[in-house]
């Protein structure tokens, strides 16, 4: 790293030496002409080269030409020393800026460094260490204590305490055992595990994250687009204005001073530096922000819609009880339900399948799942699976009208359990309800404090959206202090609620888990996906992905968006535009000279970079 700075510092360093030499009184006689000519030509040449290159890359009149013209002016008028000093300041200032920016980029690069470079795999019956790029899907990978997991995959033997903080920001390690998935970049703190490689290289969750962080810089928000448009007509305007000053006063030096001081570097830096710092800050804490556009929208959010199951309530639900409604035993009801739900990603489906496997491990009497030919998703109701044992339905109350099988006993069960805020899934075989599963649906512990923090962040409306029944929804809403509830919504109806809020003028954030709420996530100004660590779809589609499975990052992310917007505005109006206008004013009346102009110019750029860097360590002040 140090050698890079040495190389980059060589040019400004040489210029400085040249300038100092030319200040020695006797130098004039030795060189037989103004010795400042050399550093001026060198610096001017370097700036001309840089400007030519950027202009060739994106053809438009860039700000660099202002400086080139100013240097040309100083050469023509014989002001070599002034020209050399201006060139030195411009190049030296750029170097300082870059060093400051490096701090920001470093925080993102630190993420990269967490990826392991080697893996221990089993080949020809032996464990050997190989470069991680050569690991193939289906290979067995050994992860010892203290090592990082090099691929995404399932544990096939052993158990370990795995720290996922690199991905989720969650500081405590979690126990992982056979059947659990571990992810690239996480750390095995104790124990030894064998992992079957499922995703390698660019497919891993980790690679997704890195791609997103890199692309974040190129996705521009509204403020940045305005600044870009501004920069296009800015340069010609300044040229005309400076020319006007020259003609009016007859002083070419004032013209040159205007060009130097007006150079809009600070303006160009104002937004991207802030966005990069914010994305880096969020990534370290387990929140992926897709780009400047999302970040700016997050700063403006004043209405939030939250999905219920899997978002406000725990991601992992529990089956409390299995209630047979015919002569079929409990075990069979659970087994049929698990057969139908095996392919579904819905939190209730996962709860059913987990409950089945637990019982399978505990008792010998449990029969295996039968094979499934086809599963039909019944939106807002549940699933219908065609199996070896005929059709199996699993779903909520609406299933009764679908099957036209209702009796008082079922209804009483539904009423009683739903009144307690539980989810009841009916299990039917051959059009007949054979039993019910009662699932606990408790609010997350962090939900209440996270939601109350939102009000302090300018959120005026909080709505709970759910495909579930009213009673469960109202119980949760009451406990969390949410005033507005919309229940029994189909996925597209959730999106319509979001759209209706937008029509009322709200900037809407939708928080969901990606199951039955993807249309709403897409419709919202900011789609926020929860528990995204295992879901590439969520990482790809949502504007913001919270890797950890909790809500505490939600207010943090909105606060970060607000702070970023504030910093961008400060950068643009205070450090770029105001300083620029004052500088142009002073230059036109002749108070500022080219060298002073170069100083003012650099100070404004450095202030912008420094101001943005503050976002790196931003934390939401706890009220």
Binding site residues, ligand ADP, CB under 6 A: 307-310, 341, 344, 346, 348-349, 380, 382-383, 394-396, 423, 425, 466-468, 515-516
Tell whether residue 307 is a contact of Mg ion (CB under 5 A).
yes
Shortest distance in whole angstroms from residue 438 CB to Mg ion: 19
Shortest distance in whole angstroms from residue 356 CB to ligand ADP: 14
Count CA atoms within 13 Å of residue 97 on its CB side. 21
Shortest distance in whole angstroms from residue 506 CB to ligand ADP: 20
- 313, 448 contact by CB (below 8 A): no
Residue 173 interacts with which of Mg ion, ligand ADP, none, CB < 5 to 8 Å by class: none
Tell whether residue 185 is a contact of Mg ion (CB under 5 A).
no
Residue 348 interacts with which of ligand ADP, Mg ion, none, CB < 5 to 8 Å by class: ligand ADP
Count of CB atoms within 10 A of residue 106's CB? Answer: 13
Shortest distance in whole angstroms from residue 498 CB to ligand ADP: 13
Rounded Cα–Cα distance for residues 356 and 326 (Å): 19
Residue 561 interacts with which of Mg ion, ligand ADP, none, CB < 5 to 8 Å by class: none
Shortest distance in whole angstroms from residue 307 CB to Mg ion: 4
User: Among 576, 499, 618, which Cα is nearest to 224's?
Assistant: 576
Comparison of 259 and 515: residue with beta carbon closer to Mg ion: 515
Residue 467 interacts with which of Mg ion, ligand ADP, none, CB < 5 to 8 Å by class: ligand ADP
Residue 349 interacts with which of ligand ADP, Mg ion, none, CB < 5 to 8 Å by class: ligand ADP
- 559, 620 contact by CB (below 8 A): yes
What values do phi and psi take at 373, rounded to 5? -90, -40
* Residue 442 tokens, joined: 């408790």
CA 291 to centroid of chain Cα atoms: 7
As beta bridge partners, residue 148 has 187
Comparison of 97 and 341: residue with beta carbon closer to ligand ADP: 341
Residue 160 CB contacts under 8 Å (≥ 6 apart), including other chains: 143, 145, 175, 176, 182, 188, 189, 190, 191, 192, 193
From the candidates 152, 293, 307, 441, which is the catalytic residue?
307
Comparison of 39 and 467: residue with beta carbon closer to ligand ADP: 467
Tell whether residue 561 is a contact of Mg ion (CB under 5 A).
no
The string of DSSP letters for 586-601 reads: HHHTTSS-HHHHHHHH
Tell whether residue 309 is a contact of Mg ion (CB under 5 A).
yes
Comparison of 91 and 515: residue with beta carbon closer to Mg ion: 515
Window 264-303: contact mask with Mg ion (x via CB under 5 A): ----------------------------------------
Comparison of 473 and 539: residue with beta carbon closer to ligand ADP: 473
For the chain, what's the residue count?
Answer: 623
User: Quick check: is 307 catalytic?
Assistant: yes
Strands 508-512 vs 303-307: parallel, antiparallel or unpaired: parallel
Shortest distance in whole angstroms from residue 537 CB to Mg ion: 14
Please name the helix (run of DSSP H) or strand (run of DSSP E) that holds residue 422, with its range, or none.
Answer: none
3-state secondary structure of 154: strand
Comparison of 143 and 383: residue with beta carbon closer to ligand ADP: 383
Tell whether residue 62 is a contact of Mg ion (CB under 5 A).
no
Exposure string over 574-611, b if 16+ CB within 10 A, otherwise e: bbbbebbeebbebbbeeebbbbbbbbbbbebbbbbbeb
Window 490-529: contact mask with Mg ion (x via CB under 5 A): -------------------------x--------------
Residue 374 CB contacts under 8 Å (≥ 6 apart), including other chains: 385, 386
Catalog residues that contact Mg ion under the rule CB under 5 A: 307, 309-310, 515
Catalytic residues: 307
């Amino acid at each position: 790293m140090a050698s890079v700075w040495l190389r980059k510092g060589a040019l400004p360093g040489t210029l400085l030496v040249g300038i100092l030499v030319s200040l020695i009184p006797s130098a004039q006689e030795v060189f037989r002409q103004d010795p400042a000519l050399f550093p001026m030509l060198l610096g001017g040449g370097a700036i001309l080269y840089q400007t030519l290159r950027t202009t060739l890359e994106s053809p438009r009149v860039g700000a660099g030409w202002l400086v080139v013209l100013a240097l040309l002016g100083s050469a023509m008028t014989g002001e070599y020393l002034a020209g050399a000093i201006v060139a030195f300041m411009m190049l030296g200032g750029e170097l300082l800026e870059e060093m400051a920016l490096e701090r920001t980029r470093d925080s993102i690069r630190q993420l990269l460094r967490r990826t392991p470079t080697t893996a221990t795999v089993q080949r020809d019956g032996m464990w050997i260490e190989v470069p991680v790029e050569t690991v193939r899907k289906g290979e067995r990978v050994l992860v010892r204590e203290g090592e990082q997991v090099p691929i995404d995959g399932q544990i096939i033997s052993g158990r370990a305490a795995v720290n996922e903080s690199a991905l989720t920001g969650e500081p405590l390690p979690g126990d992982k055992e056979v059947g659990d998935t571990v992810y690239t970049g996480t750390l095995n703190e104790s124990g030894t595990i064998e992992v079957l490689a499922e995703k390698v290289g660019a497919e891993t969750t980790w690679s997704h994250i890195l791609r997103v962080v890199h692309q974040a810089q190129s996705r521009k928000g509204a403020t940045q687009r305005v600044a870009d448009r501004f920069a296009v007509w800015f340069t010609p305007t300044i040229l005309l204005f400076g020319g006007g000053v020259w003609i009016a006063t007859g002083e070419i030096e004032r013209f040159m001073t205007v060009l130097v001081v007006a150079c809009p570097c600070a303006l160009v830096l104002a937004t991207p530096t802030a966005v990069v710092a914010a994305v880096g800050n969020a990534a370290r804490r387990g929140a992926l922000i897709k780009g400047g556009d999302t970040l700016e929208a997050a700063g403006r959010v004043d209405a939030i819609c939250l999905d219920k199951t899997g978002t406000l309530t725990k991601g992992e639900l529990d089956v409390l009880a299995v209630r047979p409604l015919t002569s079929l035993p409990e075990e069979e009801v659970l087994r049929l339900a698990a057969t139908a739900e095996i392919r579904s990603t819905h939190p209730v489906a996962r709860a059913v399948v987990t409950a089945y496997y637990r019982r399978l491990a505990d008792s010998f009497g449990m029969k295996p799942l039968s094979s499934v030919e086809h599963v039909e998703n019944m939106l807002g109701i549940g699933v219908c699976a065609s199996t070896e044992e005929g059709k199996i339905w699993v779903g909520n109350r609406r299933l009764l009208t679908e099957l036209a099988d209702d009796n008082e006993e079922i209804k009483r069960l539904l009423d009683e359990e739903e009144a307690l805020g539980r989810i009841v899934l009916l299990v039917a075989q051959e059009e007949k309800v054979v039993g019910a599963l009662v699932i606990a649906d408790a609010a997350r512990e962090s939900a209440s404090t996270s939601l109350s923090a939102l009000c302090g962040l300018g959120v005026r409306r909080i709505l709970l959206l759910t495909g579930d029944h009213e009673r469960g929804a109202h119980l949760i809403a009451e406990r969390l202090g949410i005033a507005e509830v919309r229940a029994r919504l189909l996925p597209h109806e959730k999106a319509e609620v979001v759209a209706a809020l937008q029509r009322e003028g709200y900037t809407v954030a939708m928080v969901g888990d990606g199951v039955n709420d993807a249309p709403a996530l897409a419709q919202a100004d900011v789609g926020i996906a929860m528990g995204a660590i295992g879901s590439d779809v969520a990482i790809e589609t949502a504007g913001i992905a919270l890797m950890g499975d909790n809500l505490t990052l939600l207010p943090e992310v909105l606060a970060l968006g607000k702070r970023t917007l504030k910093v961008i505005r400060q950068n643009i109006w205070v450090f770029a535009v105001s300083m620029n206008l004052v500088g142009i004013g002073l230059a036109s009346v002749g108070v500022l000279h080219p060298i002073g102009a170069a100083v003012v110019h650099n100070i404004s750029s450095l202030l912008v970079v420094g101001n943005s860097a503050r976002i790196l360590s931003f934390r939401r002040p706890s009220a």
